[in-house]
Amino acid sequence: MNEVELDLQFTKPIKCAVCGGLNYADDYGNTDRCPHCGWKDNGDSEFFEDCHGISYPMLVPLSRAREQYNAGQKFKATFEDFIGGLKFYSEMLFWHHGLVHEVFIKHKGGGSIEQASDDHIVVFCNKDFQQEFDSIDEFRNKANIDGRLLKDIWDEVEDAGFML
Question: Is the domain of 117 the same as that of 94?
Answer: yes
Q: Are strands 91-96 and 99-107 parallel, antiparallel or unpaired?
A: antiparallel
93/126 same-domain check: yes
d(CA 160, CA 80): 11
| Residues 86 and 155 both lie in one domain | yes
Return the HEC string of the chain.
CCHHHHHHHCCEEEECCCCCCEEEECCCCCECCCCCCCCCCCCCHHHHHHHHCCECCCECCHHHHHHHHHCCCCCCCCHHHHHHHHHHHCEEEEEECCEEEEEEEEECCCCCCCCCCCCEEEEEECCCCEEEECCHHHHHHHCEECCEEHHHCHHHEEEEEECC
Q: Do 101 and 132 share a domain, yes or no?
A: yes
Residues 45 and 92 in one domain: no
Could you tell me if 96 and 37 lie in one domain? Answer: no
pLDDT above 50 (res 141): yes
Same domain, 11 and 63: yes
Q: Which domain holds residue 109?
A: 79-162
Q: What's the whole-model pTM score?
A: 0.86
Strands 22-25 and 130-133: unpaired
**Do 88 and 113 reside in the same domain of the chain?**
yes
- Assess whether 96 and 132 both reside in one domain: yes
pLDDT tens, residue by residue, 44-56:
989 999 999 999 9
Among 70, 96, 118, which residue terminates a domain?
A: 70
Show Cβ contacts of residue 20 under 8 Å, excluding neighbours closer than 6 positions.
Answer: none
pLDDT value at position 115?
46
End-of-domain residue from the set 70, 94, 117? 70
Both 89 and 114 in one domain: the answer is yes
**Cα 67 to Cα 96: distance, rounded to the nearest angstrom:** 24
Amino acid at 77: A
Domain closes at, from 36, 51, 70? 70
Do 63 and 119 reside in the same domain of the chain?
no
Say if residue 61 is in the same domain as residue 9: yes
Model confidence pLDDT, tens digit, residues 85-124? 999 999 999 999 999 999 999 977 544 455 445 678 999 9
Cα(59)–Cα(77) distance, integer angstroms: 6
Closest CA to 16 of 45, 48, 54, 51: 45
> What's the rounded Cα separation, in Å, for the pair 124 and 117?
17
Q: Is the peptide bond before 61 cis (omega within 30 degrees of 0)?
A: no
pLDDT digits (tens, 9 = 90+) for 29-39: 899 899 999 99
pLDDT at position 119 is 74
**In the chain, how many domains are there?**
2
